[in-house]
Amino acid sequence: MPRSDSRAADQLREISFEPDIAPHATGSVLVSFGKTRVICAATIQDEVPRWMKVQGVQGGWLTAEYSMLPYSTLDRKDRDISRGKLDGRSQEIQRLIGRSLRAVVDLKKLGSRTLWIDCDVLQADGGTRTASITGACVAATMAFNRLLAKGTLREQPMTRKVAAISVGIYKNEALLDLCYEEDRDAEVDCNLVMTEDGRFVEIQGSGEESTFTDEQLAAMLVLGKKGIKELCALQSAAIEAAAPAKGIAKAAPKSNVDVASLEAAFKKL
């Protein structure tokens, strides 16, 4: 069955990570899953929540916030502040982002600090939560690398990469990385959060006025694992290509000029 964007059933949308989109954050990326675009920013503060101090909990903390900008959807979405409370869906997603990152971050190595993950959806075309988790991992790793380079951190808190992807049953076929149209009309919708070494962090799956079989679940898991593996490879490339650490001077380029000869020439002038 041809998909609306001509992808194969097991093919991801075009994935990209644009680093340092938010220059005041410790680490940030603009992650794109096709037309879905999310700014993921990681900011580290030198303090921990009050409850950790009261309970004497050692190490740091990680928390996440998620929001969809009013113009990210076809119809304008009201800001949460205009309703006076956080949207239930947004609350559920930001908790998922926090759980996903805490599964791969050693909070004791973070020290008495809080890592804030902010995910703001610029454009939504399905898979905003999976894009947020995948981009947040890149942003957080960039932030950690910069603090390690500055000597603020002694050890890398990120134990391994984590990524997320959607799978589903659409018109009786298992598909990877659903766009909005497929997600809206899918008989089964599932989101997988996994680590780079193939371990599950979370599985969210449900039939949309439908049921699914063992065979269909197995087919979705196969697609999901393939997608996660590809995402983790793209994450690694993005982290490797990220800008040098803020405040860390680049090493001077090597020169083939004979410095001693230059000094001697200047003395003759």
Which residues are annotated as part of the binding site? 89, 127-129
Annotated binding site for phosphate: 89, 127-129
Residues in the chain: 269
Residue whose token pair is 């949308």: 13
Buried b / exposed e along 211-235 (16+ C-beta atoms within 10 A): ebeeebbebbbebbbbbbebbbebb
State the CB neighbour count (10 A cutoff) for residue 23.
9
CB 136, CB 64: distance < 8 Å: yes
> Given its phi and psi angles, is residue 89 left (phi above 0), alpha (psi -120 to 50 degrees) or beta?
alpha
> Given its phi and psi angles, is residue 111 left (phi above 0), alpha (psi -120 to 50 degrees) or beta?
left
CB 46, CB 144: distance < 8 Å: no
Residue 241 per-residue DSSP state: T
Rounded Cα–Cα distance for residues 170 and 3 (Å): 10
